[in-house]
Structure 1
Amino acid sequence: MPHTRPRLSTDEMRQLALEAARSILIDDGPQAVTLMAVAKRINRTHANILHHFGSAGELRRAMAEMMTGRIIVEISEKVVEARQTEGDMREIVDITFDAFEKQGMAALMSWMILSGEHEGLAPILDAVHNLVEELGEYRGAPLRQITQMLVLTALGEGMIGGPIAAALEVPRETARATLAHQLRIMRGW
């Protein structure tokens, strides 16, 4: 008797493929996120994945949008909480750094830039812009400058933080702690 795969709705199929792509990104890097690799990971055909995304670039763009959406929600919640409790910026730094380092956002963004897939950055940049607009200024803190410093530092840390920390013989934690301290000063509490 032939083995049949369950039929999935378009949304279910896209979500399954995006989760597989994210897993491949974390495990093997952005260059490994191909239509064929995703198809193999979820036991589907290349044509099936192509049908749902159109190209590997669109798959990576959709994955970036999904990942960014999740990260933005988490960061937004922490910023609102920090504002209410005058909490520490360190949690926001850690969430952002983890997204870039452990969840593969730094590798994905760097790969998109270096491979010329600049349109893939649009969902990430739009999400950051929209978050800053949504959160608005608070007690005169320069939110745009804080966000720029946070994102650029997290990107650099995610790309080369380990080797730089080793070369300088400082704990890997140093960049996070230093940035959290600087952001506390910038935000004024």
Structure 2
Amino acid sequence: MSIDDVIEEIIRVEGGYVNDSRDAGGETKYGITIATARANGYSGPMRDLPKSLAIEIYRRQYVIAPGFDKIGALSQPIAAELVDTGVNMGPTVAGRFLQRALNALNNQGRSWPDLVVDGAVGAKTREALAAYLQQRGREGEAVLLKALNALQAVRYIELAEARAANEAFVYGWLRTRVA
């Protein structure tokens, strides 16, 4: 699945205009919150947010800025997972999930050095991922995806535990976001 495919799937899952009072993000269209739209220069009604602008925001803010496009050069499935998680939880959270998983899979630092878990997916994180994929291959890629999804699922439950209104969304998050 390409990054373009991932963005289209996110837009499909997020749907059109939504203004659910239980959602801390407020008004959204295509999953873009009003705050994100405004921060990206959109000043019109959220109901009228153009799909092309949503795609541009997703690409700029959730693919290129966090460096997930560079992860795609190593593994499209891992990049796709990071983009999807980044859209729903923030790119820094997605980056931390990757770093935590790679640290847990590095054989106590013998396969590659431990990463600082800061969510910044830079050269060291890419080097660790490349080493992991070289060592473990496609099977390892599938295992890493399971680890990322497990961390994501736990985070959804934590969000519901921290804010009762989020319980309204947990089923859908688990159904559509956790593979």
Question: Normalized per residue, which structure has more helix?
Answer: 1
Q: TM-score, normalised by structure 1?
A: 0.30
Q: TM-score, normalised by structure 2?
A: 0.31
